[in-house]
């Protein structure tokens, strides 16, 4: 056991800081700092900068073009990126599809799909959930029927995050209609410019636009776009979701949120003293800080274990369950620290000359509401508990 950074790890930290200082564009950092929506161009610009450095696919093994980092190096990179207000790396190609293709894809798919993700040229989005298939994902109904060398896809996907910027989508589709629902699902890659696909925005609780509905009407997709065997999709889907979880504790984001809460609470005064010295408020901050301190180590312990055994286990569900709740608590504290100043609705201020919220905090309530999603997406925290139950109780 040793929690201190080795000299190599300290040197790596310095290298990351140096890179971020010199390569993260100011206009992007400012947008992240403000907590508002980022444009697709901003995200893509940052992806390309990381790609050029070889630091985009942080979890990929070296043989596929990843940097071959240890879990500790990934942790350092994540923390520093958040400290410098770098945008989150869009995970759908890098953290989800990439590992799937590496594990289940054939050589042609590896050669065609992986370079596009690595260079940030392709923007993948996810076609998993459906209006009738949320937590019960296996009940999905979007069908792919074989017709010659093609599959013909009909149905509807939803909650497709950042689909408005994507050029490709990976989908779970039903290829068998009898038997156990899990045994009739396939995993297929689709170009979004294929005729018959329509993407419609869903406006979210805070007013923002980040998710979409995707409609498929007689969409013809070459059969060679199938990943793995037909009807093997459920295995792939589970593999993908396990990989997603190793990146989901949100340690870097929460560390940054904690700093923000403390900074706000030092500036704001209540009952004649800084809010941070108010016992009720400070006790909530302290408890969140303690939980986060533990979570940092839980995250590293589990990533370390995953690396040792070669794959992430079901215990990584703990990272999702606890990591999201800590992050939500911190966003709640930030909102509460602002008090009534959190209320002005960005974009709905009639006199633009009058600053109603302190600078950099205008989106705080919006971020609080938006962040309620984290305990729902990627398998809700209740589904994570079901996953853990299965392994623990062996019932």
Task: Look up 15 and say whether it is catalytic.
Answer: no
**Per-residue binding letters, 306-335, with another protein (x by CB under 8 A):** ---------x-xx--xx-------------
* Chain centre distance of CA 158: 16
Residue 389 is a binding residue for another protein (CB under 8 A):
yes
Nearest to 294 by CA among 334, 336, 248, 254: 254
Tell me whether residue 341 is exposed, middle or buried, using C-beta atoms within 10 angstroms of its C-beta: 0 to 12, 13 to 18, 19 or more: middle
Helix, strand, or coil (residue 1): coil
Nearer to another protein, 144 or 276 (CB): 276
Residue 13 is a binding residue for another protein (CB under 8 A):
no
* Member of 27, 149, 193, 393 binding another protein (CB under 8 A): 393
Contact stretch for another protein (CB under 8 A) within 14-22, 23-31, 107-115, 280-288: 280-288
Nearest to 124 by CA among 153, 84, 91, 100: 91
**Per-residue binding letters, 246-275, with another protein (x by CB under 8 A):** ----------------x---x-------x-
* Member of 13, 45, 191, 291 binding another protein (CB under 8 A): 291
Site for another protein in 210-229 (CB under 8 A): none
Strand partners, 156: 215
Contact stretch for another protein (CB under 8 A) within 51-59, 209-217, 252-260, 276-284: 276-284
Give the C-alpha separation, 305 to 312, whole Å.
8
- Number of residues near another protein (by CB under 8 A): 47
Contact stretch for another protein (CB under 8 A) within 162-170, 201-209, 216-224, 287-295: 287-295
Give the C-alpha separation, 134 to 158, whole Å.
9
Nearer to another protein, 7 or 22 (CB): 7
Nearer to another protein, 203 or 390 (CB): 390
Give the C-alpha separation, 365 to 344, whole Å.
9
* Direct distance between the N- and C-terminal alpha carbons of the chain, in angstroms, rounded to an integer: 34
CA-to-CA dists, residue 104 to 22, 233, 246, 264, 304, angstroms: 38, 10, 19, 47, 24
Give the C-alpha separation, 300 to 306, whole Å.
10
Site for another protein in 344-383 (CB under 8 A): 382
Nearer to another protein, 34 or 73 (CB): 73
Nearer to another protein, 116 or 134 (CB): 134
Q: What is the DSSP string of 22-55?
A: HHS-HHHHHHHHHT-PPPHHHHHHHHHHHHHHT-
Residues of this chain that interact with another protein (CB under 8 A) are 1-6, 9, 72, 262, 266, 274, 276-277, 279, 282-283, 285-287, 289-291, 293-298, 300-301, 304-305, 315, 317-318, 321-322, 382, 384-386, 388-389, 392-395
């Amino acid at each position: 056991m040793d929690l201190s950074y080795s000299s190599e790890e300290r040197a790596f930290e310095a290298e990351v800081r140096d890179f971020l200082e010199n390569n993260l564009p100011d206009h992007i950092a400012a947008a992240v700092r403000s907590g508002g929506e980022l444009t697709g161009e901003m995200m893509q610009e940052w992806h390309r900068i990381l790609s050029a450095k070889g630091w985009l696919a942080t979890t990929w093994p070296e043989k596929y073009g990843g940097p071959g980092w240890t879990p500790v190096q990934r942790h350092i990179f994540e923390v520093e990126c958040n400290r410098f207000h770098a945008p989150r790396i869009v995970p759908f190609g890098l953290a989800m599809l990439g590992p799937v293709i590496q594990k289940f894809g054939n050589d042609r798919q590896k050669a065609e799909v992986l370079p596009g993700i690595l260079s940030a040229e392709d923007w993948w989005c996810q076609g998993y959930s459906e209006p009738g298939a949320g937590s019960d994902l296996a009940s999905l109904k979007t069908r792919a029927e074989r017709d010659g060398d093609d599959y013909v896809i009909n149905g509807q996907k939803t909650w497709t995050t950042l689909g408005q910027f994507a050029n490709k989508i990976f989908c779970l589709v039903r290829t068998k209609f009898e038997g156990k629902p899990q045994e009739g699902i396939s995993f297929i890659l689709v170009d979004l410019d294929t005729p018959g696909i329509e993407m419609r925005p869903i406006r979210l609780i805070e007013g923002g636009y980040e998710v979409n509905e995707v409609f498929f009407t007689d969409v013809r997709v070459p059969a060679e776009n199938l990943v793995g065997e037909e009807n093997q999709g459920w295995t792939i889907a589970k593999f993908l979701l396990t990989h997603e979880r190793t990146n989901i504790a949100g340690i870097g984001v929460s560390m940054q949120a904690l700093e923000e809460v403390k900074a706000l609470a030092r500036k704001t005064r209540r009952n004649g003293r800084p809010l941070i010295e108010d016992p009720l408020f400070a006790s909530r901050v302290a408890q969140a800080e303690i939980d986060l301190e533990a979570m940092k180590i839980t995250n590293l312990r589990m990533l370390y274990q995953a690396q040792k055994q070669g794959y992430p286990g079901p215990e990584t569900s703990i990272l999702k369950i606890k990591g999201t709740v800590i992050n939500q608590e911190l966003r709640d504290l930030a909102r509460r620290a602002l008090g009534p100043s959190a209320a002005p609705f960005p974009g709905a201020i009639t006199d633009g000359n009058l600053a109603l919220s302190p600078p950099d905090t205008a989106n705080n309530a919006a971020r609080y509401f938006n962040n309620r999603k984290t305990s729902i997406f990627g398998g809700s925290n209740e589904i994570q508990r079901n996953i853990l139950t299965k392994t623990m109780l062996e019932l």
